[in-house]
Amino acid sequence: VIIKKSADAASIAAARVVARLVQEKPTAVLGLATGSTPLKLYKELIRMHREEDLDFSRVTTFNLDEYIGLEKTHAQSYYHFMHENLFNHIHVKPENIHIPDGMAPDVAASCAAYEQQVADAGGIDLQILGIGSDGHVGFNEPTSSFTSRTRIKTLTRQTVEDNARFFGGAEHQVPRHCITMGIGTIMEARMNLLLAFGERKATAVAESVEGAVSAMMPASVLQHHPNAKLFLDEAAASAL
Ligand code: GLP
């Protein structure tokens, strides 16, 4: 557990871990996350790409999750988010970018294919995670099985409320369903970096780090991961 004075400092520290991996293994497979939490981390990776020639041209990426029913062009789709905030700025080969398809006609088949793509890429070297205020990772809401794979999930009321701010505050505009990598998928990543900032995350962080390992607090499963690092600001660490 790495606690920094500010979210920016924690994000920069996490970006250094990502950069070190990409330098050592230019073909690294990165698992990526959305939400407000990783924004500064992505900004720092873009800065390193521009100013320090950090090369992403051979990396492969897999995103954790996507809303069901939003077109790629929708301003709140995670496809759009990733291009806006990272891919439009660092030159990852388009064919190496993987984001679950929220418009797939056959969701189950699309999820199985996604798992196969992860396996074909050799597994995920480093997975970036945020945490929901209810302890979700990806969109693995409380009660998600620790052996779950990429699949459809229903968002909890709390997550719909939390994410309404991205939809102009309108809860009815937030999709109710999503595709998310499973907890089993996430646990197979060789390294997990979870970032959490702000007081709103303090309880979920404390329960995940110091509480019982429980499907009611999905991020607590990381206690069983051999190489998981949590990057926190002081507010997110305040209940530890
Ligand atoms: C979202 C995402 C998660 C993210 C979390 C926290 O709904 N699916 O991957 O970690 O909720 O979001 P934020 O970083 O905006 O607090």
Tens-place pLDDT, residues 30-43: 999 999 999 999 99
Q: Which of 65, 66, 125, 233 is catalytic?
A: 65
Active site residue 141: yes
Residue 186: domain span: 2-233
Structural domain includes residue 28: yes
Domain count, the chain: 1
213 domain-assigned: yes
Residue 238 lies in a domain: no
Q: Is 65 a catalytic residue?
A: yes
The complex's ipTM works out to: 0.92
**Phi-psi domain of 69 (left: phi exceeds 0; alpha: psi -120 through 50; beta: other):** left
Which pLDDT belongs to residue 102? 96
Q: For 72-83, what is each residue's pLDDT tens digit?
A: 999 999 999 999
Which has the closest alpha carbon to 205: 220, 223, 225? 220
Q: How confident is the model at residue 170 (pLDDT cuts 50, 70, 90)?
A: confident
Q: Residue 239: inside a domain, yes or no?
A: no
- Average pLDDT of 53-71? 97
Ligand 1 in contact with 14 (CB < 6 A)?
A: no
Closest CA to 46 of 99, 6, 82: 82
Question: What CATH number is given to the structural domain containing 73?
Answer: 3.40.50.1360
Distance from Cα 133 to the centre of ligand 1, integer Å: 8
Any domain includes 240: no
Instruction: Point out the catalytic residue in the list 44, 66, 125, 134.
Output: 134
Residue 117 lies in a domain: yes
For residue 28, the CA-to-ligand 1 centroid distance in Å is 24
- For residue 74, the Cα-to-chain-centroid distance in whole angstroms is 19
CB 94 within 8 A of CB 61: no
What's the whole-number mean pLDDT along residues 7-27?
98
Q: Is 194 in the pocket of ligand 1 (CB under 6 A)?
A: no
Is 161 inside any structural domain? Answer: yes
